[in-house]
Amino acid sequence: MSYYEDHSPGYGARPARARLSTDAPTLDLSGDWRFHLAPTVALAPDGFWSLDFDDSSWDVLPVPSHWPLHRYGIPTYTNIGFPFPLDPPYVPDENPTGDHRLRFHLDESWPGAVLRFEGVDSCARVWLNGHELGVSRGSRLPVEFDAGPWLRAGTNMLAVRVHQWSSGSYLEDQDMWWLPGIFREVSLIARPAGGIEDVFVHADFDAGRGKLRVEALTRDDAVARLSVPSLGIEGVPAGIELVLDQVDPWTAETPRLYDAVLATETERVALRIGFRTVEVSDDLLRVNGTPLRLSGVNRHEHHPDHGRALPPGTAREDLLLMKRHNINAVRTSHYPPHPEFLDLCDELGMWVILECDLETHGFGFSDWQGNPADDPAWTDACLDRIRRTVERDKNHPSIIVWSLGNESGSGRNLDAMAEWTRQRDPGRLIHDEGDHEGRHSDVYSRMYLPHAEVEAIGRSAGRPFILCEYAHAMGNGPGGLAEYQELFDRYPRLQGGFLWEWIDQGLRQGERIAYGGDFGEPYHDGTFVIDGLVFPDRRPSPGLIELKKVIEPVRLSVDGDRLTVTNLYGFRDLSSLRFELELSSDGVPVLSKAIDVPIVEPGETVEVGLPSLPEVDGEGWLTVRALLATDEPWATAGHEIAWTQRQVRKPLQTRVPEPVTFDEFVSIPRVELWRAPTSNDLQAAMTEPGAVPVAEQWREAGLHRLQHRVIETRNGHLRTRVGSAPHPPLLTADYSWASEEFTVRIEPDRPLEIARLGIVLELPSDLDQVEWFGLGPGEAYPDSRTASRIGRYRATVDELQTPYVVPQENGARAGIRWAELTRADGTGLRIEAVDGPELSMTVRRWSTEALAAAKHTDELVPSDRLYLHLDVGHYGLGSASCGPGALPAYRLELAPTVWTMRFRRVAGPSRG
């Protein structure tokens, strides 16, 4: 059996230990390396590791990187199935093998030094100056080799052979791109005699007191001493337990860290200590005694140009975005992230479920026969992975739970991993999403359950419950977030969840963003990799804006002249916030004022009186907002945390007679029942066996190719029959004009689920400046609209498009009172909602058919006109791409409907 196919974790590595911030000399070996790629192992050059091997004809590759993102081979995307035959532990002969060589200079020899790799995908064999150091697997895990004996003053030569496929690949079936390479840093770290090998900080917070014990493993029995200046601790020998009366606890809301130094005569290690105690008590997951409320996301490491070789600063960008959107928890799906991310979680405050690099999902294709999570042949490999996970990251206060992996079925090796973890670190909890019975998992964790099942769990007793994945954010969606949150709020056992997933894992390919199949992969899972809350360039999608509102940690509501403020934080009062009200008339702010809110303790609610407000002429709305009063490390003063809106005056119906301006129309209005299917419309709800995707039902009914037949025209009235081959007609539509008003009346022939109910108008393409009074500024669909608020907004038609990587229905603005579409000279068309169900507006430069046909955004070519959709109904978004479809209340049935709009000409430049 080859070294890259045996079951072992490899050989030659030093014992796993914490990643330490040391003052020992460290040489970062990142940079330009010599590189050669062979399509098979057999074709890789023999002896490339020897000092005198001639690599002058080799290419240059930056390290860290993934070679397929530098034009060597291709990235491959699969979700569940392995992209090679399921024949463990063997891999195909077609095994891209990247040979890497680096010459580096040392002024003197570094006798005890270790060579550290932070991450190599998937199997590395390492030589230093011609001596083999060993073999490692475990792509997202660090490995260290003793390098000292072979290092020398002068030029040294490091050679690394990386195989894309190895036995380790069977343990790394995460839903993401397969991206081989040395994708995290490589460094040489001097190990002084009498230095510090490993540190384990135990810092509890119990009944107002800190308990601190720092375990140290030193070389040569050296004594390590601890200093924490701000706690008055100076040179206390490691291993002694200290009880501290005056410490502030660490929480994700109040991330208090104490800078500390652990030192021997020869080495100093900097530590950042956070005091907190994690436990399950009375069936609740608690930190420092307080039950947690996790508003989390699953985070893969992804960058559209660099894959999982994240450029510096990306981790911070993610965390700032998360904090600014009220997210308080991250599951590091499905592997330990770059360590920088965890340093920042400690510093900025985030609850972390740290997941081991283990997923064997593809064994589902063999009915879980030979699942490495159960087969004793793989025990060492599994234990090696959890050891390297826990040892590397054990000193991060942000990590509260160790997760054994993802989608790995169940089995003896998971049991063994749990047992080892509990022994090694009793201070944290264990998560294993496959362990529904609670063999070793401290929390009951499930994924993608529909609301009703979550509610049933909420009503029952048992281990604390979390949704480790829910609300699949693929394409336009998810819908139904607010309803999940209501359940989390109602039932204490439901301690929150983690949306799937943080970022769309699209890769840049020229001008466009690519997904599975775009690189010519013979076996792939297509668009399923595009399911994030932020787009690949990290711009927030509407789903993230919705999430921010749904999980806001401060709940505001206005009733009459009373404001109710509920503090949903667990650990901080609201003194860092200021509150502000704004009164608007027809969307125009007329007054704003600060509101005094007394201190609100965690979990408490207060009521305050609002100042009396002047009468307004138009439709009146009161908006109350909670804003940061001062800068936080993750946002500046004024950043909005929470808000609420309440209508304080109904609109007056004003009638402004004016001629109807149908000369602006390129076509007459016609009924539309279809939309460009969303990623959710295209999948059958996983939770309803036998369900058919709604998009398929709509297609079956022919909603995408309606035909119209005029059966009657009278003065100002048109009656049509509307249907689709080969079925009998679906409905009768009446359109009537009376003065400037336009009424649509729908009379269905039979009940039917439809995608939307509305009319579409074609307009000249220069009417592309849009202003509206209604909900905004972003898009809103029936089950994803809590983030939009009443106001007056402006955008160009192009700005109204949401750039979903996979083109699909998007951009609806709801609650439209009026909208104006004007051209550069200020003339154009005004639409007013007069009567009937709430009106929503979608306007774009292409037809619904063209939007539905496009596979990538660069295929959306502006036509010579605008398509304006004025709808009175939309089917909910749901989350059927992985999870439940739209809740029953958000499904759309064809029903008798009447609505009236007013169309007016906008005369010219001097509008108020």
- Minimum CB separation from ligand IPT for residue 341, in Å? 18
Q: What are phi and psi of 702, to 5 degrees?
A: 75, 25
Quote the Cα angle for 416-422-425, to 5°: 135
Give the shortest CB-410-to-ligand IPT separation in angstroms: 15
What distance, in Å, lies between the first and last C-alpha atoms of the chain?
A: 80
Residues 466-485 that bind ligand IPT (CB under 6 A): 469, 472
Among 79, 328, 445, 840, binds ligand IPT (CB under 6 A): 79
Q: Which is nearer to ligand IPT, 504 or 531 (CB)?
A: 531
Chain residues 407-426 in contact with ligand IPT, contact rule CB under 6 A: 407
Instruction: Quote the least distance from Cβ 451 to ligand IPT, whole Å.
Output: 17
SS3 category, 340 = helix
What is the full DSSP assignment across 409-442? ---HHHHHHHHHHHHH-TTSEEE-TT-TT-SS-S
Handedness of CA 286, 289, 293, 297 (dihedral sign): negative
CB closer to ligand IPT, 145 vs 402: 402
Shortest CA distance to 834 belongs to which of 753, 741, 724, 695?
Answer: 741
Nearer to ligand IPT, 286 or 472 (CB): 472
Q: How many residues does the chain have?
A: 912
Of 99, 121, 175, 681, the residue at the interface with ligand IPT (CB under 6 A) is 175
How many angstroms separate the CA atoms of 83 and 164, rounded? 12
CA dist 620 and 610 (Å) reads: 16
Instruction: Candidates 882, 886, 892, 894: give the one binding ligand IPT (CB under 6 A).
Output: 882
Q: What x-and-dash track marks residues 530-569 binding ligand IPT by CB under 6 A?
A: -x--------------------------------------
Joined together, the tokens standing for residue 858 give 């660069």
In the DSSP assignment, the letter for residue 357 is S
Which is nearer to ligand IPT, 372 or 791 (by Cβ)? 372
Q: Which of 643, 780, 788 is nearest to 326 (CA)?
A: 643
How far apart (Å, rounded) are the C-alpha atoms in residues 480 and 487?
11
Report the largest interatomic distance among the alpha carbons of the chain, rounded to a whole angstrom: 101
Determine, following the binding rule CB under 6 A, whether residue 447 of this chain makes contact with ligand IPT.
yes
Q: What is the x/- site pattern for ligand IPT, positions 838-877, by CB under 6 A?
A: ----------------------------------------
Interface of this chain with ligand IPT, residues 379 to 408, rule: CB under 6 A: 406-407
Amino acid at 90: Y
Q: Report the residue number, 472 or 625, with the smaller CB distance to ligand IPT.
A: 472
Residue 284 CA, distance from chain mean position: 26
850 Cβ contact list (under 8 Å, min separation 6): 860, 861, 863
Instruction: Using the minimum distance from each CB to ligand IPT, give the nearer residue, 277 or 527.
Output: 527
Give least dist CB 472 to ligand IPT, A: 6
Q: How far is the CB of 309 from ligand IPT (least distance, A)?
A: 20
Per-residue binder mask for ligand IPT (CB under 6 A), 342-381, x = binder: ----------------------------------------
- Cβ neighbours for 264, distance < 8 A, ≥ 6 positions apart: 194, 195, 196, 218, 222, 223, 224, 225
Site for ligand IPT in 747-786 (CB under 6 A): none
Judged by CB, which is closer to ligand IPT: 407, or 518? Answer: 407
Phi, psi of 196 (to 5 degrees): -105, 120
Binding mask 714-733 for ligand IPT (x = CB under 6 A): --------------------
Query: How crowded is residue 638: how many other Cβ atoms within 10 Å of its Cβ?
Result: 13
Report helix, strand or coil for 564: strand
CA nearest 850: which of 665, 675, 668, 669?
Answer: 675
Nearest approach, Cβ of residue 297 and ligand IPT (Å): 13
d(CA 433, CA 341): 23
**407 versus 871: smaller Cβ distance to ligand IPT:** 407
| Interface of this chain with ligand IPT, residues 501 to 530, rule: CB under 6 A | 528
Task: Count CB-CB contacts under 10 A for residue 213.
Answer: 15
407 is known as an active-site residue:
yes
What Cα–Cα distance (Å) separates residue 393 from each residue in 26, 340, 386?
A: 20, 11, 11
Per the annotation, the verdict on 359 as an active-site residue is no
By CB under 6 A, residue 500 contacts ligand IPT: yes
Least spacing, CB of residue 532 vs ligand IPT, in Å = 10
Nearer to ligand IPT, 182 or 294 (CB): 294
Cα gap 816→588, rounded to integer Å: 15
Minimum CB–partner distance for residue 407 and ligand IPT (Å): 5
Pick 335 or 634: Cβ nearer ligand IPT:
335
For residue 491, the minimal CB distance to ligand IPT (Å) is: 23
Measured distance CA(601)–CA(685) in Å, rounded: 41
DSSP characters over 132-160: EEEEEE-TTS-EEEE-GGG--SEEEEEEE
Binding track, positions 294-333, relative to ligand IPT; x by CB under 6 A: ----------------------------------------
Residue 892's identity, in one-letter code, is L
What DSSP string describes 580-607?
Answer: EEEEEETTEEEEEEEE------TT-EEE
SS3 letters across 518-561:
CCCCCCCCHHHHCCCCECCCCCECHHHHHHHHHCCCEEEEEECC
Identify the active-site residue in 469, 501, 619, 832: 469
Q: Distances in Å between the alpha carbon of 801 and those of 503, 541, 681?
A: 19, 11, 19
Beta strands at 494-499 and 294-298: parallel, antiparallel or unpaired:
parallel
- Nearest Cα residue to 228 out of 274, 192, 191, 196: 274
Minimum distance of ligand IPT from residue 687's CB (angstroms): 10
Residue nearest to ligand IPT (CB): 175
Specify the residue, 689 or 726, whose C-beta has the smaller distance to ligand IPT.
Answer: 689
Least separation in angstroms between residue 79's CB and ligand IPT is: 5
* DSSP-assigned letter for residue 43: T
Q: Which is nearer to ligand IPT, 526 or 702 (CB)?
A: 526
Annotated catalytic residue, options 301, 359, 407, 521: 407
CB of 298 to ligand IPT, least distance (A): 7
Question: Rounded CA gap, 647 and 631, in Å?
Answer: 31
Nearer to ligand IPT, 819 or 882 (CB): 882
Least distance between ligand IPT and beta carbon 527 (Å)? 11
If binding is defined by CB under 6 A, does position 435 make contact with ligand IPT? no
The number of residues that bind ligand IPT (CB under 6 A) is 12
Is residue 448 a contact residue for ligand IPT (CB under 6 A)? yes
118 lies in the site for ligand IPT, by CB under 6 A: no
Site for ligand IPT in 196-235 (CB under 6 A): none
Which residues of this protein are in contact with ligand IPT, per CB under 6 A? 79, 175, 406-407, 447-448, 469, 472, 500, 528, 531, 882
Catalytic positions, written as ranges: 407, 469
